[in-house]
Amino acid sequence: MRHLMNPLDFTVEELEKLFDLANDMEKNPDRYANVCHGKKLATCFYEPSTRTRLSFESAMLNLGGSVLGFSSADSSSAAKGESVSDTIRVISCYADICAMRHPKEGAPMVAAERSKIPVINAGDGGHQHPTQTLTDLLTIRSLKGKLGGFTIGLCGDLKFGRTVHSLIEALARYDDVNFIFISPEELKVPDYITQMLKNKNIGYEEVISLDEVIGRLDLLYMTRVQRERFFNEEDYIRLKDFYILTKEKMKAAREDMLVLHPLPRVNEISVEIDDDPRAAYFKQVQYGVYVRMALIYTLLGLEQGGDKAC
Ligand code: CP
DSSP result, the chain: ---BSSGGGS-HHHHHHHHHHHHHHHH-GGGGTTTTTT-EEEEEESS--SHHHHHHHHHHHHTT-EEEEESSGGGSGGGGT--HHHHHHHHTTT-SEEEEEESSTTHHHHHHHH-SS-EEEEEETTTB-HHHHHHHHHHHHHHHS-SSS-EEEEES-TTT-HHHHHHHHHHTTSTT-EEEEE--GGGPPPHHHHHHHHHTT--EEEES-STTTGGG-SEEEE----GGG-S-HHHHHHHTTS--B-HHHHTTS-TTPEEE--S--SSSB-GGGTTSTTB-HHHHHHHHHHHHHHHHHHHTTTTTT-----
Task: Kindly state the average pLDDT of the residues 32-58.
Answer: 98
With a threshold of 0.75, does the pTM exceed it?
yes
Atom of ligand 1 nearest to the CA of 288: 1
Give residue 104 CA to ligand 1 midpoint distance, Å: 16
Task: Kindly state the average pLDDT of the residues 143-151.
Answer: 97
Confidence of residue 306 (pLDDT cuts 50, 70, 90): low
Cα–Cα distance measured from residue 28 to residue 32, given in angstroms and rounded to the nearest whole number: 7
Amino acid at 180: I
Question: Which residue, judged by its Cα, is nearest atom 5 of ligand 1?
Answer: 49
Domains of the chain by start residue, with CATH: 7-128+288-304 (3.40.50.1370), 130-279 (3.40.50.1370)
Is residue 309 pLDDT above 50, yes or no? Answer: no
Give residue 151 CA to ligand 1 midpoint distance, Å: 25
Tens-digit pLDDT profile for residues 230-273 = 778 887 888 788 899 999 999 999 999 999 999 999 999 999 99
Give residues with Cβ within 8 angstroms of 93, minimum separation 6.
none
Question: Which residue, judged by its Cα, is nearest atom 1 of ligand 1?
Answer: 262
Q: Given this model, what pLDDT does residue 141 score? A: 98
HSE-CB of 3 using CA atoms within 13 angstroms: 19
Q: Given this model, what pLDDT does residue 22 score? A: 98
User: For all residues of the chain together, what is the average pLDDT?
Assistant: 95
